[in-house]
Structure 1
Amino acid sequence: MKYGAAFASVALYTCTFTVAAAFSRISLVRRQQQITSNVSPRNLRAWSLSLIKESELLEKIREGVSEAGFEEAWKGSVDEITSFVGIDVEHAEMCLAQALEWKAWAMAPSPTFRKYIKTKEPIVRELKDNLSWMVGKPLQLEIELLKQGILQFPGVYLVDSQVSFEKAISCAPIEYKSIECFRNQLAADLSILKNTYNCDTAEEGCAGNCGSCWVTYGNKKL
């Protein structure tokens, strides 16, 4: 009798699990159908490319870097990032690839499109100087904040960061004009380093630079 009850319990559990799994698969299929039905034909390919596994994307990036003759400089740059801020190799590579346009190159749908993407050569010395500048004066960014900045905004925190800072503070609103105020705000919000335009003060006015504009940044905070 005991064995019969135990068998019945196992059977009930198995049945319940199977039904739940089936509903889960149905839900996933429906969700995928909803997503693809809402994606326009123009963006469908881009959406599909976003599903490429990161490992496969990295392989494409490495192949492109190697073919361009930058393999040694690439490895040296990745090593510099990992040792400086403690990011693992894969994340360091992906951040570097995004900063130097190799990620965009690898995700391009065809060789024709890749011709129009201006990838950059990794230069170890420039990268090292850039990272050292970020933790020195005037910003004196803590290593953990620099790490987060690289992960979130690699194009700004790995390449020409001093140029970005000088542009950002030169057109910043009055409340961020001083080094101290800018530094304090940067510690609270790492995105401000990419605010290199201000349509309120620029002669051109709004020139389509909303993604890097202080006014847009201020409006988002409201």
Structure 2
Amino acid sequence: MASIRDYNVVEQFNSRLEEIRSKLLDQAMGEVLNDTAMELCQQHRHYMKSVMDTCIKKSKEDESMFESIHAHKEDLKERTAVLKEKRTEHIEVESEIEDKEHHKELLIQRIEKLKKDHVKNRELIQSQNKANKDRLKKLNICKDVFQKHLSLEIRKIQGEKLQFVFRNISRKDPDMVHAFLLWLDAEGLYHIVSCDPPLENMAHLELRLQKTNNFPAFLANVRREFVALYSGAKK
């Protein structure tokens, strides 16, 4: 048996111990690394699961948010369309109101003009009525005078027309009728409608009557013209 004091033996022993220690250390480190790796893998799996769950949750939240944004956009689009339609209706209503206001102003102006025209027409009618009353008064005076002295008869026929009938014109036939039909228009002008027998100067006498408004003189001139038909001379 070799002595333990032999240097080579000691070296071999130490080398063997170092080898055993290294194996034991490697074995221990392997077990530690395996345990650590398993723990890290386990932690990594838990972390990835947590990250995945968070991502899924975030994705669902984002999807819900996008749906909400889309719904808000559609609602805004509808509200914008409604607002545009209301604005168009508002403009149409404003235009209609302006047209009615303008029409109202025109009606007011027309009413004012009609009022003024009515006042003028009423004043004109009153003036014409007064003038017609004056003419009627003169006609009545003429009627009385001519009926009394010249056998004149005045008849109201065909509405507003008057027929003037003369007798005692012809000495041969005093009852022979000589007549003319007269009409007084709305402006108070005299118009001869017919004359029997016809008188050549009747148009001239009518125009003179319209200018002078002297009806007694007109009747006298007409009678003179009738008399002249038989005397052969006009006075």
Could you say which TM-score interval applies, normalised by the shorter chain? under 0.3
More strand, by proportion: 2
How does the TM-score come out when normalised to structure 2?
0.24
Q: Which has the higher contact order (CA 8 A, sep 6+)?
A: 1
Q: Highest CA radius of gyration, 1 or 2?
A: 2
How does the TM-score come out when normalised to structure 1?
0.25
